[in-house]
Structure 1
Amino acid sequence: MPNKTNLKKNFFKKIEKFRDFQAKIGITFTNEKLLFQAFTHSSYVNEHRKKPYEDNERLEYLGDAVLELTVSEYLYKKYPTMSEGNLTKLRAAIVCEPSLVTFANELSFGELVLLGKGEEMTGGRGRPALLADVFEAFIGALYLDQGLESVTSFLNKVVFPKIDEGAFSHVMDFKSRLQELIQRDGKGVLDYKILEEKGPAHNKEFVATVSLNGEVIGSGVGRSKKEAEQHAAEQGLQKLGEFPQK
């Protein structure tokens, strides 16, 4: 059995970790209990029944909704001509488990999670579902503590720059996005051309270009004409400054 001195030491170490974390992200919680709860797994609560710990599941529920709202608003404003279907697809890629795990890992959330011994021994600290839940719970805690504006400010540092950099562009229809951009800004007419078709029938490769008012703004290679045109449109978007070049 651990003695009271060791228990106190461990407790103060945890408090210090959370204080350091707040300094790192530039956010100070008014109600630190909400912050601790966001990182408290149910397995930890089960092992400390005599103490008034509460797990993060309710905060996760709230954070999920807050995250969807804030990301939806950001995409709605950033892409004024994007269709509802494409906005939904893009949002789904941003709030899906692998993306949330990436955000959580970048901020070392795993190091802060309070786990039961069994969960700790089976690698729970690095489990994707657990990390994604903790990220959502943190968003829920931040919302309750400081409101939507603070959540948006936090996402402006952690999530939104990745959208701007094209990190989720794999779910985008680049041709539609380029067309929307041209129509929105009244820039003129787009024209796609297949310049080259090479290779045997079972392994063809196509080279495409996209022109704006007669000037080539992008080229791309693909296994089909559609794929080549998508890559050309992606390059066109880069040239027009929609997101940084790779």
Structure 2
Amino acid sequence: MKLSADLKAFQGRIGHEFSKPELLIRALTHGSLSSNTRPDNQRLEFLGDRVLGLVMAEKLLADDPNAPEGTIAPRFNALVRKEACAEVARDVDLGAVLKLGRSEMKTGGRRKLALLGDAMEAVVAAVYLDAGFTAARDMIVRLWGDRIANVEADARDPKTALQEWAQARKLAPPKYTEVAREGPDHAPVFTIEASLSNGHKATATAPSKRAAEQAAAKALFTRLEAET
């Protein structure tokens, strides 16, 4: 099976040339385009999630052999969560080669966090099945790159950190208010304001409410930490 020029270019971006190209095609095929002759990537996503988890657990333990489980766990969660997978997918422009049905094409599927994250996990599984664990591990470590080294800064959930900061000072829990919603229905962009009862606030914009809330909480918490 020969790959198209765009898929060959994608192989270059992830640093792996498939001996079984059908695995890559399957990894990039969303359920909206699947059929009896064209299986989707859901089973590969399931496997890829486990391969990614094993690689990250192994890497984190090796990098910090004295860290307790309570320290490793939030780092692990930050690296394997769907948002992190979607960020890596955007880095390698995975959306450009996603194979989507008409409905997903019309609703901006190439930019959706969940679809990108799922497909990235499926690509991990495809590399694992094509060339084994070492090849998958090498690709993951390469593509996740500085995220692994800098994970400590992202490991703590910003909303939790902000809430704990407020509780320690006997303040009411943070409030999250939707300030604006822009863009078409299939690709909205939300602006969320995080505020505390002491008057401190910060805003952030993201393609989902959850991401915007997290970003606003992080911005506010970072500002408060710098002031104290």
TM bracket (short chain): 0.5 to 0.7
Q: CA deviation at 1:122?
A: 1.1
Alignment partner of 1:170 is 2:154: yes
Q: CA deviation at 1:34?
A: 0.3
Q: Say which of 4, 28, 48 aligns to 2:17.
A: 28
Alignment partner of 1:129 is 2:114: yes
State the alpha-carbon separation in 1 of the partners of residues 84 and 28 from structure 2: 18
State the alpha-carbon separation in 2 of the partners of residues 147 and 36 from structure 1: 18
8 Å Cα contact 1:94-1:168 kept in structure 2: no
The 5 Å alignment of 1:209-220 reads: none
Give the TM-score normalised by structure 1.
0.61
With over 3 angstroms needed to count, the CA separation of the structure-2 counterparts of 1:134 and 1:222, relative to structure 1, is closer
SS at match of 1:82: coil
Moved over 4 A (4+): 221-224
Q: CA deviation at 1:84?
A: 0.3
Q: How many residues align?
A: 167
Match of 1:18 in 2: 7
Q: Which residues of structure 1 form unaligned runs of 5+?
A: 1-11, 173-201, 204-220, 229-246
Match of 1:140 in 2: 125
SS at match of 2:22: helix
The 5 Å alignment of 1:23-62 reads: 23-46=12-35, 49=36, 52-62=37-47
With over 3 angstroms needed to count, the CA separation of the structure-2 counterparts of 1:168 and 1:123, relative to structure 1, is farther
8 Å Cα contact 1:100-1:131 kept in structure 2: yes
Q: Say which of 128, 141, 145 aligns to 1:156.
A: 141
Q: CA deviation at 1:167?
A: 4.7
8 Å Cα contact 1:70-1:152 kept in structure 2: yes
Which whole-Å deviations, capped at 9, do the CAs of 1:124-179 have from their partners, x for residues lacking one?
A: 11111110000000001110001111111112211143221x2541326xxxxxxx
8 Å Cα contact 1:90-1:171 kept in structure 2: yes
State the alpha-carbon separation in 1 of the partners of residues 86 and 121 from structure 2: 10
State the alpha-carbon separation in 2 of the partners of residues 15 and 168 from structure 1: 39
State the alpha-carbon separation in 2 of the partners of residues 15 and 32 from structure 1: 10
Alignment partner of 1:91 is 2:91: no
State the alpha-carbon separation in 2 of the partners of residues 136 and 98 from structure 1: 12
Q: CA deviation at 1:45?
A: 1.2
The 5 Å alignment of 1:56-71 reads: 56-71=41-56
State the alpha-carbon separation in 2 of the partners of residues 158 and 167 from structure 1: 14
State the alpha-carbon separation in 2 of the partners of residues 24 and 98 from structure 1: 20
- The one-letter code sitting in structure 1 at the alignment partner of 2:130 is D
Q: CA deviation at 1:222?
A: 7.9
Give the TM-score normalised by structure 2.
0.66
Which whole-Å deviations, capped at 9, do the CAs of 1:36-91 have from their partners, x for residues lacking one?
A: 00000011114xx5xx1110000000000000000000000001111101111110
Match of 1:100 in 2: 85
Q: CA deviation at 1:29?
A: 0.4
State the alpha-carbon separation in 2 of the partners of residues 167 and 127 from structure 1: 23
Match of 2:206 in 1: none
8 Å Cα contact 1:100-1:132 kept in structure 2: yes
State the alpha-carbon separation in 2 of the partners of residues 223 and 59 from structure 1: 42
- Higher mean alpha-carbon deviation, 32-41 vs 93-102, is at 93-102
